[in-house]
């Protein structure tokens, strides 16, 4: 299992772009800001090549031929949810950040490889090491067959915990799915059960 502190790098990101992005991020990241995941994305207008998820922001980087500069940035504290609209029989997915201000920020289009969408779920659900909430990624309507990922509260002192039950279970499911041990339907059902079991119980009003 990958260490919680190790950034996840999408298999579709070329190694040369990873190196270039890391150089670019040295000037983009704030003091102590940590990268949680890097994903290959495309977009026609304001062209982008990578989506970077940090513990503070969602970033898009430009094309590698211009040095992968910062194109978009959305503060995690302002993100209400992230949706992925699957297209062309789920082979691609438009990633959109919905902010508390009612804005919709196009973060590019992912290309599906194995469990790409789940990996984005997992990265967005990583504890931030502070009071910032995890980012939910709703399923119904935006991502057929995949259920909602609810906020996972992070309290003081929890920080980066590879033993966080939701993260551990999501990672295990992803690994099984990557190895072909689970079908799409089995994976969706397992994730649905997991999320149902981890949701807090709400007492009915009197």
Q: What local confidence, expressed as pLDDT, does residue 60 receive?
A: 97
Alpha carbon distance 9, 151 (integer Å): 23
pTM metric for this prediction: 0.67
DSSP 196: H
Average pLDDT value for the chain? 76
Mean pLDDT value across residues 182-193: 75
Task: Using DSSP bridges, classify how beta strands 92-99 and 79-87 pair: parallel, antiparallel or unpaired.
Answer: antiparallel
Alpha carbon distance 96, 104 (integer Å): 6
Mean pLDDT value across residues 157-176: 57
pLDDT in tens, 142-162: 443 333 333 333 333 334 334
Q: Is the pLDDT of residue 201 over 70?
A: no
User: When comparing pLDDT for 94 and 44, which is higher?
Assistant: 94
Alpha carbon distance 168, 2 (integer Å): 10
* Phi-psi group of 126: left, alpha or beta (phi > 0 → left; psi -120 to 50 → alpha; rest → beta): beta
State whether residue 61 is helix, strand or coil. strand
pLDDT band at 95 (very low <50, low <70, confident <90, very high): very high
Q: Where are the domains of the chain?
A: 8-125, 165-197
Mean pLDDT value across residues 128-151: 53
Q: Which architecture characterizes domain 8-125 according to CATH?
A: Roll (2.30)
Q: Is the pLDDT of residue 77 over 80?
A: yes
């Amino acid at each position: 299992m990958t260490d919680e502190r190790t950034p996840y790098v999408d298999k579709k990101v070329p190694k040369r772009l990873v190196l270039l992005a890391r150089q670019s991020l040295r000037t983009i990241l704030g003091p102590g800001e940590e990268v949680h995941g890097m994903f290959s994305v495309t977009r026609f207008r304001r062209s982008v090549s990578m989506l970077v998820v940090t513990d503070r922001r969602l970033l898009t980087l430009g094309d590698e031929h211009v040095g992968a500069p910062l194109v978009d940035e959305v503060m995690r504290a302002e993100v209400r949810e992230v949706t992925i609209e699957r297209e062309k029989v789920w082979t691609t997915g438009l990633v959109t950040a919905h902010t508390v201000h009612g804005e919709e920020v196009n973060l590019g289009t992912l290309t599906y490889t194995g469990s790409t969408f789940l990996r984005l779920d997992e990265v967005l659900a990583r504890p931030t090491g502070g009071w910032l909430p995890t980012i939910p990624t709703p399923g119904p309507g935006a991502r057929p067959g995949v259920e909602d990922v609810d906020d996972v509260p992070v309290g003081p002192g929890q920080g980066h915990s590879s033993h966080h039950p939701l993260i551990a279970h999501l990672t295990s499911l992803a690994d099984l799915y990557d190895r072909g041990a689970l079908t799409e339907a089995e994976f969706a059902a397992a994730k649905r059960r997991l999320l149902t079991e981890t949701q807090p119980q709400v007492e009915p009003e009197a």
